[in-house]
């Protein structure tokens, strides 16, 4: 069955019931694409998938299912978000990460090639860099992951590079920095059970869902001693996927690896100050030792995505990101 919109084909979003995937589904639908979602609902939520999308419950490693979706829904491009994302867990259970993120991606990429899919966008990560020698970090700097999560994603980037050289498919690996916030219209947000990410934790504390926020390390080589990260609004990130898709379609002989960040960092204390500023309250802070494997600072050089696509940050203000995260945390029943 061909795509039912004015677009030339439909898009398959893996992990479309998850945090970033559900925002990408909204962005695609809002832009007029027909969207199919495949998600095994292990960490995602069925209700996170907009009703305009076709939903298929199942696993990306189920090649027969993926083949049926590609043929049946008229899929011409895949946005691949499905995977495991908890860094400390990847240290405890590396084989889970090499299965979910690497082996299952291999199967999906094979299904894409066999099904004649022409474009592939992959959720990669700043964790592929490990501890960068220089900040801001550029895509051509060494990739030396310091945990299985980063390595499991880097291995998939390597597969895509080789596959794009051998088959009629091009790809874009987007290396996400710290993703936060929620849909400005309140249609989606982060519902992940047991989330550990700073902004999610901090807004939860501000709403009394937890007693305090632990600050993991105050002796980093940063202006205030706490870790510095490049927080990117999830809707800006979703928008980056739309532009990456347009770029892949317009230039089918080119593939890309691009950082997704704003090129500026905020410390843990600056994030907590932002939360306090917005709520008028005071989040209780507890100093704790460093978390294993945390770099001092991780900030993107985003000049490549700015030069390659028309994408521009629209929601880069930290207070805006925190405000949207807070609004979602207030209204969402599911956390």
Under the binding rule (CB under 6 A), the answer on residue 331 touching ligand UDP is: no
Residue nearest to ligand UDP (CB): 227
DSSP letters, 52-86, are: TSEEEES-TT-HHHHHHHHHHHTEEEEEE--S---
157 vs 124: CA distance, rounded Å: 8
Helix locations, 214-284, DSSP H? 234-250, 268-279
Residues 169-188: x where in contact with ligand UDP by CB under 6 A, - otherwise, as a string: ---------x----------
Is residue 324 within 8 Å of 183, Cβ to Cβ?
Answer: yes
Left (φ > 0), alpha (ψ -120 to 50) or beta: where does 150 sit? alpha
CA 131, 159, 163, 39: dihedral to nearest 10 degrees? -100
Q: Tell which one of 215, 258, 278, 326 touches ligand UDP (CB under 6 A).
A: 215
Task: By CB under 6 A, tell whether 213 contacts ligand UDP.
Answer: yes
- Minimum Å distance from CB 316 to ligand UDP? 17
List the one residue out of 176, 160, 80, 163 whose CA is nearest residue 124.
176
203 binds ligand UDP (CB under 6 A): no
In angstroms, give the least distance from the CB of 217 to ligand UDP. 6
Shortest Å, Cβ 181 to ligand UDP? 12
Going by the DSSP 8-state scheme, the letter that residue 239 receives in this structure is H
C-beta separation of 58 from 40 below 8 A:
yes
**Contact between 98 and ligand UDP per CB under 6 A:** no
Residue 21 vs 217, nearer CB to ligand UDP: 217
In the complex, minimum distance from the CB of residue 242 to ligand UDP, in angstroms, rounded to a whole number:
24
Contact assessment for residue 141 and residue 195, using Cβ atoms and an 8 Å cutoff: no
By the rule CB under 6 A, 218 interacts with ligand UDP: no
- Are 16 and 38 within 8 A, CB to CB? yes
Contacts with ligand UDP by CB under 6 A: the residue count is 15
- Among 149, 220, 231, 262, the active-site one is 149
Helix (H) or strand (E) holding 228: strand 228-229
Candidates 8-16, 40-48, 112-120, 208-216; binding stretch for ligand UDP (CB under 6 A): 208-216
Q: Round to whole Å and give the CA distance between 181 and 190.
A: 8
- Give the contact letters, 52-91, x = binds to ligand UDP (CB under 6 A), - = no: ----------------------------------------
Q: Which SS3 state, helix, strand or coil, does residue 192 take?
A: coil
What is the per-residue binding string for ligand UDP in 242-281, x denoting contact by CB under 6 A?
A: --------------------------x-------------
Q: Is 234 in the site for ligand UDP (CB under 6 A)?
A: no
Q: Does 214 bind ligand UDP (CB under 6 A)?
A: yes
Q: Which residues contact 20 (CB under 8 A, 6 or more apart)?
A: 81, 123, 176, 179, 234, 237, 238
Contact between 291 and ligand UDP per CB under 6 A = yes
Region near ligand UDP per CB under 6 A, out of 46-54, 98-106, 181-189, 210-218:
210-218
What are the structure tokens assigned to 262, written together? 């704003």
Tell which one of 229, 241, 256, 324 touches ligand UDP (CB under 6 A). 229
Options 89, 294, 304, 308; binder of ligand UDP; rule CB under 6 A: 294
For CA atoms 213, 332, 53, 55, the dihedral sign is positive
The yes-or-no answer on residue 98 being catalytic is no
CB nearer ligand UDP, residue 30 or residue 270: 270
The catalytic residues are 149
The site for ligand UDP (CB under 6 A) is made up of 178, 196-198, 201, 213-217, 227, 229, 268, 291, 294
């Amino acid at each position: 069955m061909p795509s039912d919109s004015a677009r030339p084909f439909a898009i398959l979003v893996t992990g479309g019931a998850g945090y970033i995937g559900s925002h990408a589904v909204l962005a695609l639908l809002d832009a007029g694409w027909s969207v199919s979602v495949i998600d095994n609902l292990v960490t995602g939520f069925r209700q996170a998938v907009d009703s305009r999308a076709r939903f298929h419950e199942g696993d990306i490693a189920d090649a027969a299912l993926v083949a049926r979706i590609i043929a049946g829904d008229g899929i011409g491009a895949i946005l691949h978000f499905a995977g495991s994302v908890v860094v400390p867990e990847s240290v405890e259970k590396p084989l889970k990460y090499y299965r979910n993120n690497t082996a299952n991606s291999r199967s999906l990429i094979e299904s894409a090639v066999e099904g004649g899919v022409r474009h592939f966008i992959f959720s990669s990560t700043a964790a592929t860099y490990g501890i960068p020698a220089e900040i801001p970090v550029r895509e051509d700097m060494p990739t030396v992951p310091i945990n299985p999560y980063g390595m499991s994603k880097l291995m998939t980037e390597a597969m895509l590079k080789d596959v794009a050289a051998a088959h009629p498919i091009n790809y874009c690996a987007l290396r996400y920095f710290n993703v936060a916030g929620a849909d400005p219209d309140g249609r989606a947000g982060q519902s992940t059970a047991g989330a550990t990410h700073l902004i999610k934790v901090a807004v939860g504390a501000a709403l009394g869902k937890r007693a305090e926020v632990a600050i993991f390390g105050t002796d980093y080589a940063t202006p205030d001693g706490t870790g510095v990260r490049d927080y990117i609004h999830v809707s800006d990130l979703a928008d980056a996927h739309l532009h990456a898709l347009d770029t892949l379609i317009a230039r089918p002989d080119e593939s890309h690896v691009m950082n997704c960040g704003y090129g500026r960092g905020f410390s843990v204390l600056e994030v907590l100050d932002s939360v306090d500023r917005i709520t008028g309250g005071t989040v209780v802070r507890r100093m704790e030792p460093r978390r294993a494997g945390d770099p001092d600072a991780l900030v993107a050089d985003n000049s490549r995505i700015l030069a390659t696509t028309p994408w521009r940050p629209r929601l880069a203000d930290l207070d805006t990101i925190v405000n949207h995260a807070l609004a979602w945390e207030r209204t969402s029943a599911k956390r």
